[in-house]
Structure 1
């Protein structure tokens, strides 16, 4: 196994642990998380939705089957982390360091994942996805 793939797997593992830790924290410390959501002005039912979608996103990154789904998953995680950090900074509830670290891990996973996977296969898959069918 080459070094890039090793680094990719390590960063993916760290990112997965961080997101799973967030999900478990939301379950174990539900009252504190709910109080933070109320303080941020978000509805409480978003706690469950975020947990479910984060878990599905992790599964999709690990399974890693199609290019365009993977792009949407990374975009969703990026928006979740950046907007969460901004929300915490706006109400002066911490400095958002955990979200910044997770965003860095997300970028590393994204960039190294592109290098590890065969980029030519992704380009061909993208072309076949966007190419309209020929009607005869």
Structure 2
């Protein structure tokens, strides 16, 4: 009788998925909190872009900062699937609207695709977290 060789490929794949989910979700959350902080501390460059280039009124920019920080922190909350689904939906809507705002404003053509790049991180985070939830893992 041959002895069967057992491999732990599924365990390694699961661990790699967990690590990828944590890293990508952490990067996405950091991005949201970082830019939210810039809006709240009245960073001149970010306020100039939001107010003059994109045409957002000055009174709405701090609110955008608060929602960005709440979204970034919300991404890091574990084991609350309904809340994270709502957060991912809100972030996706925000990024689609940011892309639309960028398309209708002046500036560099490359700046117009910044929201799409961030959307790729948010989408990757969402997919990896769904894989983790399907396998009953926690982030």
TM-score range, shorter chain: 0.7 to 0.9
Structure 1 consecutive aligned stretches of length 4 or more whose deviation exceeds 6 Å: none
How far the C-alpha of 1:27 sits from its partner, in A, is: 4.3
Does the CA-based 8 Å contact 2:39-2:64 persist in structure 1?
no
Aligned to 1:23: 36
Bigger helix fraction = 1
TM-score, scaled to structure 2: 0.73
Residue deviations 1:24-81, cap 9 Å, x none?
Answer: 3334553333333333232212221111112112222211342222111111111111
How far the C-alpha of 1:93 sits from its partner, in A, is: 2.4
Match of 1:54 among 68, 82, 85: 68
- Structure showing greater radius of gyration is 2
Count of residue correspondences: 121
Q: Please state if 1:36 is matched with 2:49.
A: yes
TM-score, scaled to structure 1: 0.75
Does the CA-based 8 Å contact 2:40-2:66 persist in structure 1?
no
Are the structure 2 counterparts of residues 60 and 17 from structure 1 closer, same or farther at C-alpha, using a change threshold of 3 Å? closer
Aligned to 1:74: 88
> For residues 1-136 of structure 1, what are the structure 2 equivalents within 5 Å?
2-27=15-40, 30-39=43-52, 40-94=54-108, 95-118=111-134
Supply the RMSD in Å over aligned alpha carbons. Answer: 2.4
Identify unmatched segments of 5+ residues in structure 2.
1-13
Distance 2:35 2:25 in 1: 15
Identify unmatched segments of 5+ residues in structure 1.
121-136
